[in-house]
Amino acid sequence: MSNQSKEKANPVLAEFVRGNMSENLHRGSFCVVDAQGKIIASAGDVDAMVYPRSAIKSLQALALFQSGAVEKFNLTDQDLALACSSHLGEQFHVDGVKEILAKIDLTVDDLECGAHQPTHKDARYELRGRGEKPSALHNNCSGKHAGMLAVAKALGVNHKGYIEAEHPVQVLVRECVERVLDFKLSPDFCGRDGCSIPTWGAPLKSFAAGFAKMSSGSNTLPALYANAGDRLFNAAASNAKFIAGTDGFDTDAMNAFEGDLMLKIGAAGVFCGALRGKNWGFALKCDDGSMDAAHAIVAGLLNAMSVSTEETAPVLRSKMAQVSKNWRGFEVGQLQSHEDIASYF
């Protein structure tokens, strides 16, 4: 059962328009917080508990610094970007994860994320064309899992079962996330993520505040966390193709914002990120879990938060108004972010 209050529904933040009427409405919530913890703008119930899913991989990656894995294995910014990624399974992603595993003297067989087909269409066709089956390297979370294996090796613990909540790796990851969120994660709001690690629920506003802290190097964070946050966000922004991949919105948006944006998608309609020039953190959740609608909402939110440029405008427009065509090629409607998003600021 949802933890959102039943007294008042969240507002409509995106809609699919067919012909001259709205066919589907997508409700949700978002929160934008500054470096001092002040809420700049919000919509809906930002106190509701949500699972952030993959949107907080950069917070989970703090364990790489806390454990000493970054120094011990000489992890590069590309490695760190992959640890924060939900990649599309292109060959350069697969090769990058292999490089991390080689540094820690482990193999694909040690990954406990499971295997699935590459998310990117061309990568799927290429794999099938070679007559190969997908491996755990193609899992969009393999970079994060390789990073977690590095944490286990740095801690000097048995890496087997590193996906379990009681394993030292997940205990450390949980402690890192709690420290940034300033929120105690509870087994009452915990589930297993798609890649098999624990996913912990927290209020939406806590995730927005956490990203603001990571972006600003807030003095409320230990120096190690502040410095690590800066490096992780820089690594993601400068290696954006490793965060998603070819035609991935996270990648395209971060490239368009030229280092000023940290953006990460999470399953079931979640996005978290930071507008780094302003040190604003943000988080959003589309109630029905629609990823297309979540893309429309985050694009509308970024459009409201930033000054449009020749680089950012086309990338944001492509998601703020997603044209749908039928099999004959006719335009039958579009999924669009709600124009009222800007009014919350």
Predicted local confidence at residue 242, as pLDDT:
98
Crossing angle for the helix pair 142-155 and 91-103, nearest 10 degrees? 10
Grouping H, G, I as helix, E, B as strand and the rest as coil, residue 342 is helix
Task: Return the pLDDT at 206.
Answer: 98
What percent of the chain shows pLDDT beyond 70? 98
Q: Which residue has the higher pLDDT, 220 or 115?
A: 115
Given a cut of 60, is residue 293 above it in pLDDT? yes
Q: Check residue 86 and give its pLDDT.
A: 97
- pLDDT at position 218: 78
Straight-line distance from the first to the last Cα atom of the chain, in angstroms, rounded to the nearest whole number:
31
Q: What is d(CA 117, CA 133) in angstroms, rounded to the nearest whole number?
A: 8
Cβ burial, residue 213 (10 Å; 0-12/13-18/19+):
buried
The stretch 171-175 carries a mean pLDDT of 98
DSSP 3-state of 198:
strand
Contact 154, 68 (CB under 8 A): yes
CA angle centred on 294, ends 240 and 234, rounded to 5°: 20
The answer to which of 82-96, 98-112, 151-165, 213-227 has the lowest mean pLDDT is 213-227
- For the segment 197-212, the average pLDDT, to the nearest whole number, is 97
Domains of the chain, by residue range, sit at: 12-344
CA angle, 206 then 56 then 95, to 5°: 170
pLDDT in tens, 210-239: 999 999 887 889 999 999 999 999 999 999
12-344 is classed CATH 3.30.450:
no
Q: Which residues contact 254 (CB under 8 A, 6 or more apart)?
A: 236, 237, 240, 243, 261, 262, 263
Q: Each residue of 34-80: pLDDT tens digit?
A: 999 999 999 999 999 999 999 999 999 999 999 999 999 999 999 99
Alpha helices in 156-202 (DSSP H): 168-181
Residue type, 281: G
Confidence band, pLDDT 50/70/90 cuts, at residue 28: very high
Give the DSSP letter string of 87-155: ----HHHHHHHHHHHHHTT--GGG--S-----SSHHHHHHHHHTT----GGGSTTHHHHHHHHHHHHHH
Helix, strand, or coil here: 39?
Answer: strand
What is the residue-averaged pLDDT of the chain? Answer: 95
pLDDT of residue 1: 38
* pLDDT score of 204 more than 80: yes
